[in-house]
Amino acid sequence: MSTFDLVFYFFFLIFVARASFSSDPSDRQQLDKVLDLPGQNFNVSFATYSGYVTTNKESGRALFYWFFEAVEDSSSKPLVLWLNGGPGCSSVAFGLAEEIGPFHVEKDGKSLYLNPYSWNEVANILFLDSPVGVGFSYSNTSSDLLSNGDERTAAENLEFLLQWFDRFPQYKENDFYITGESYAGHYVPQLSQAIVRHNHKTGEKVINLKGFMVGNALTDDFHDHLGRFEFMWSVGLISDQTFKQLNIVCDFQSFIHSSELCEKVQDIAEEEIGDIDLYSIFTPRCTANFSVSNDRRSGKGKLSILRRAYDPCTEEHSTIYFNLPEVQRALHVHESPSFKWETCSDQVYDNWKDSPRSVLKVYSELLRSGLRIWIFSGDTDAVIPVASTRYSIDALKLPTVSPWRAWYDDGQVGGWTQEYKGLTFVTVRGAGHEVALHKPKQALTLFKSFLTGKSMPKLDLVSDS
């Protein structure tokens, strides 16, 4: 190492130490700024930050985040938190790298390309790996990975946000929304509830929460099972006999902790279904030599505007990329010699503790708070299908404000929608469990409507005269 290198390294260590102990938020932000992301062969106009927030000092629990400022005028744009589910699946793996993030991973697993339908086109987007044991989030106490559950996750996600806003105070006054999919159907309303209660307890709007939106969301175990079995039978995936058995044995079971008998009947159903992707029943599975968990539940370059064909192997590409040491260094990832990044953690899922059978009571509470609440559903998902979500919404017994109708995108039916008092439901035609992976343009249209609180677009009739 040359004398110049030694001097540079010395001053770098001083800066890191100063920023680590400094109370100045700008120092902490600078420490988290992503300066050189491997495989990014294009320029962007927005800043991005990643790092950790310690949510429990005693056990050393720390949650990893990756934040992308809006493409333009970030100070005036809403701030949106995205959560993936599982439980045990990474928001970086799915929400960011496959769906709504600005950077997606190329097939070589080493380079990136711009997503022209990224949600940071209209908002500041914050991705969070939660709870510990998921993605890059970790704990210095190994037993923490065996004791995750809904209650602790909501509490620590709230703690994360309170500390994150202290680190990025310039966004405290921005409208704040929470979004997510799958098991985030628990995380998102539970965190929203925790925020509303915290604001009420403190007597001020500590977090400026305006609403939340969830997609293909686990909501109520009974209705989700009922709709799932009905959907699988109605599209011809399972036999009449298996459909009847599933309804008899599994209807009142937990999605996360099913009985042995229910699992046996579901094994029969899987044999009848065959080797398809239940998260997107009409698209091909990944045929690469790669073990993908079937429990995922849970300055622009000109090339960015080209339409890309659907790639069922996106999870494989991400697994290669986020295990590259140079990528982890660029993202300020916690160093551990035995660490291997995974899209989903079986350890977290298999040891999940509390998981309420329903979050409908949480919805009832939040509907009274005046939050904007939207639920969307890709209609080719067989894991938590449209039928499940419709049953759950129906159980809320909300009056209809605007009846069922088609919505449009570029003159084509993008899906269907119905507006209730306090809640809007939207389906996305031809999309699977990860709506923005299959229908990115339509998903961005949905997101824009949600942020503005406007109804989904109708068909614009052009006069011949």
Segment 455-465 mean pLDDT: 73
User: Is residue 17 predicted with pLDDT exceeding 50?
Assistant: no
User: Is residue 292 predicted with pLDDT exceeding 70?
Assistant: no
Looking at residue 358, what DSSP letter applies? B
The one-letter code for the residue type at 264 is: K
Name the CATH superfamily housing domain 34-452: Alpha/Beta hydrolase fold, catalytic domain (3.40.50.1820)
Residue with tokens 């686990």: 218
Are 49 and 34 spatial neighbours (Cβ–Cβ below 8 Å)?
Answer: yes
Give the residue, 262 or 10, on which the prediction is more confident. Answer: 262
Q: Residue 35 and residue 326: Cα distance in Å, rounded?
A: 12
Segment 64-80 mean pLDDT: 97
182 in catalytic set: yes
- Of 50, 91, 118, 182, which is the active-site residue? 182
Interval 35-60: pLDDT, tens: 999 999 999 999 999 999 999 999 99
Give the per-residue pLDDT at 254. Answer: 86
The one-letter code for the residue type at 285 is: R
- Of 381, 388, 409, 449, which is the active-site residue? 381
410 in catalytic set: no
433 in catalytic set: yes
Neighbours of 221 (CB within 10 A): 24
Q: Which two tokens stand for residue 231?
A: 């959907």
Domain limits, the chain:
34-452
Give the per-residue pLDDT at 299. Answer: 31
Interval 347-392: pLDDT, tens: 999 999 999 999 999 999 999 999 999 999 999 999 999 999 999 9
Q: Residue 328 and residue 47: Cα distance in Å, rounded?
A: 18
Give the per-residue pLDDT at 288. Answer: 65
Give the per-residue pLDDT at 191. Answer: 98
Segment 309-321 mean pLDDT: 88
Looking at residue 89, what DSSP letter applies? B
- Of 186, 223, 225, 433, which is the active-site residue? 433
User: Is residue 396 predicted with pLDDT exceeding 70?
Assistant: yes
Q: Rg of the Cα trace of the chain?
A: 22
Which pTM value belongs to this model?
A: 0.90
